[in-house]
Structure 1
């Protein structure tokens, strides 16, 4: 049967699929709009299945904040190539998923994928459909929510959207400006905890054992081993604990000194680097 340009355009507007694919789907469906939509969805599933074994190492890290900045969401959405990561549809999908995570607050990744994306389609359905349109493996890899009790959540996305940070700060100072400095610090130096008390015990013990073994291998006297180990552990904390790190904008002061001067405190943070 003859398929009109108007029918193709309507299907294109509804699905976002290319004109030729829409025309072929309408032909296969004998002009039935709903059947054509179903055909295009099945095609997306076939493409997703074909690409399942591919590596999706590129993509975007995106965030979304509530109007009062009390809650933030961060998600990582993956694709196969950086070219697709710059695709408008892919970026729109990633940002929409972050907004859904913010408003619906899913308990985990599976719950996020089960959320309604549009009409009767879930996030997972839209992911499959978009895979069919773009022709690459796509994935929503992880999601986190950060909520502030008495302060605000600051969001920082590094240029290129491959690295993002949410940080919970509070205090009487300029939370936005100083909080952004803290977020950029976290992005740049990748601390493992806010304070040394929050460093996992297994990490501390591993560093202690490495330092002890190195001192013994260097032939240091037994009576100074503990002192050497404590010194190396202090240096590890200075490099890896946020408040003890040298401030990236002024290495003459620590982050602790910077936030004290700025009148704020840091409660917690989440850092996503693409592929971590």
Structure 2
């Protein structure tokens, strides 16, 4: 029988590792609430101490580009770190390349995180869900609960850091960044990105770029 995960245990693990609350809860669940085992789980994932660095100023970094085969889709991304030294490291460059490719593959992604999504977009998505036919005759409380769940799912679809990393689907982009924070010892932030689709805004044949990029990545592994 699994031990109950207490708020005190989560707080203790967070204080010892600096990892996020959600990551601490998952580690405790996986370790049956054994703090030392949970610490090892977080260390293996590269999450321990990452959040402690996440508030530090990141003003260095690089602008990375990715052009997909066929030159029909391109991405520009600015990713920041704290020092020029880390900005020159191959691991940092690879992280930038991987995230740029992720953006190319995930056509639904429009924002860095849920926190970056404007309030009017959230309100629009919620209103859209509330007006759907399958919710019309449901009680207000049930209607709101279902709509909120659908909106939460939709916002995650729009958020880059909430995506599963296409090269390692058991972790998210957020966890990938935290691993590199722990590895390189500096705060790392995605500042901005832009995706370019050939002929965007013009009437043209639609191509499934997400499947195309994903298949390309799989073939290289």
CA distance in 2, matches of 1:180, 1:162: 17
Shift of 1:216: 5.9
Match in the other structure for 1:166: 76
Q: Deviations over 1:21-47 (max 9, x none)?
A: xxxxxxxxxxxxxxxxxxxxxxxxxxx
Shift of 1:189: 0.2
Structure 1: state its 5+ residue gaps. Answer: 1-147
Match in the other structure for 2:93: 176
Structure 1 SS opposite 2:60: coil
The number of residue pairs the alignment matches comes to 129
Q: Is the 8 A contact 2:162 2:173 kept in 1?
A: yes
Match in the other structure for 2:194: 270
Q: Is the 8 A contact 1:169 1:175 kept in 2?
A: no
Shift of 1:204: 1.6
Q: Is the 8 A contact 1:152 1:169 kept in 2?
A: yes
Higher RCO (CA-CA < 8 Å; seq separation 6+)? 2
CA distance in 2, matches of 1:178, 1:203: 29
Correspondence 1:260 to 2:178: yes
Q: Is the 8 A contact 1:215 1:225 kept in 2?
A: no
Correspondence 1:228 to 2:138: no
Match in the other structure for 1:54: none
Q: Is the 8 A contact 1:164 1:273 kept in 2?
A: yes
Match in the other structure for 2:160: 242
The structure with more radius of gyration: 1
Structure 2 SS opposite 1:233: helix
Q: Is the 8 A contact 1:238 1:246 kept in 2?
A: no
Matches within 5 A, 1:57-76: none
CA distance in 2, matches of 1:215, 1:250: 38
Match in the other structure for 1:156: 66
Q: Normalized against structure 2, the TM-score is what? A: 0.53
CA distance in 2, matches of 1:225, 1:161: 45
Q: Normalized against structure 1, the TM-score is what? A: 0.43
Runs of 4+ that moved beyond 6 A: none
CA distance in 2, matches of 1:215, 1:255: 34
Shift of 1:218: 5.2
CA distance in 2, matches of 1:157, 1:199: 26
Q: Is the 8 A contact 1:192 1:242 kept in 2?
A: yes
Structure 2: state its 5+ residue gaps. Answer: 1-57, 182-187, 201-221
